[in-house]
Amino acid sequence: MKTLILIDVQNDFIPGGSLAVPEGDQIIEPINNMLPKFDLVVATQDWHPANHKSFASNHPGKKEFEITQLQGMEQTLWPDHCVQKTRGAQFHPNLETGPIEAIFHKGMDPEIDSYSGFYDNGHKKSTGLAGYLEEKKAKEVYFCGLAADICVYYSILDALKLGIKAYLIEDASRPLDKEGFEVLKKELREKGCTILNSTDL
Ligand code: VGL
Ligand code: ZN
């Protein structure tokens, strides 16, 4: 089961959105072109309530991109983004969503953030994605989307911990911080992730 997981290809992470990833719009075409190469396609959506504690707006006196503590962990305070049922939370309108068999939402609990598509940042609650992939016998899992250095990165780390053979499709992903992502890529490779481009598939 060659499986593709689209991470957070949502309007707020694309130029024009509230937490835009540079060149985020450039991943749509490679994603659409490679969809037919997969047996199974699933997606995640960052899906926050408006009172989510990862939003700087819910911490009076604190600024966007400031780091604070939440549930005993470091938390970057983000601009409001991917609020449930808003346009910013929807998939990019040009994304071909027809082949997506299941969508896993994350970040609903206002008290904790959830970068990985598998678990919240405290590894307390599961989204069900791991069980779903096991049931589908998805052993080769390709990841792409936004942001490459946050939600894609943490999803791959969890996949590797679960014993899943993980791939990162680089041209179908973009990071918030390009330089920081180079360091994370090295870490992912060392942990067993294969990094490739959609044209290599
Ligand atoms: C993300 C920051 C906050 C992501 C989600 O999808 O990479 N980043 N929430
Ligand atoms: Zn978020």
CATH of the domain at 162: 3.40.50.850
Q: What is the DSSP letter of 92?
A: P
Tell me if 160 sits within 8 A of 127, measured CB to CB.
no
Residue holding tokens 């994370």?
A: 184
Give the model confidence (pLDDT) of 84-116 as tens digits.
999 999 999 999 999 999 999 999 999 999 999
Q: Active site includes 158?
A: no
- At residue 126 the predicted structure's pLDDT band, cuts being 50, 70 and 90, is very high
What pLDDT is recorded for position 127? 98
Give the C-alpha distances (Å, rounded to integers) separating 152 from 51, 62, 142, 173: 24, 27, 10, 8
Percent of the chain at pLDDT exceeding 90: 99
Q: Active site includes 185?
A: no
Tell me if 195 sits within 8 A of 167, measured CB to CB.
yes
What pLDDT is recorded for position 189? 98
Over range 123-140, report the average pLDDT.
97
- Which among 48, 58, 81 is the best mutation to test ligand 1's pocket, defined by most ligand atoms within 8 Å of the CB? 81
- List the end-to-end C-alpha distance of the chain, in Å, as a whole number: 14
What region, left, alpha or beta, does residue 23 occupy, with left being phi > 0 and alpha being psi -120 to 50 degrees?
left
Separation between Cα atoms, residue 200 and residue 15, nearest integer Å: 27
Separation between Cα atoms, residue 144 and residue 5, nearest integer Å: 7
Nearest CA residue ID for atom 6, ligand 1 = 151
The number of folded domains in the chain is: 1
Over range 14-29, report the average pLDDT.
98
- 3-state SS, residue 188: helix
What pLDDT is recorded for position 165? 98
- At residue 68 the predicted structure's pLDDT band, cuts being 50, 70 and 90, is very high
DSSP per-residue codes, 121-158: TTS-SB-SHHHHHHHTT--EEEEEES-IIIIIHHHHHH
Over range 66-75, report the average pLDDT.
96
3-state helix, strand, coil in the chain (%, to 5): 30, 25, 45
Over range 60-70, report the average pLDDT.
97
Residue 50 C-alpha to ligand 2 middle, in angstroms?
11
Catalytic residue of the set 80, 106, 120, 185? 106
HSE-up of residue 18 (Cα within 13 Å, Cβ side): 17
Q: What is the pTM of this model?
A: 0.98
The domain containing residue 34 runs over which residues?
2-200
What pLDDT is recorded for position 140? 95
DSSP-derived pairing of the beta strands 73-76 and 67-70:
antiparallel
What pLDDT is recorded for position 65? 98
Q: How high is the mean pLDDT of the chain? A: 98
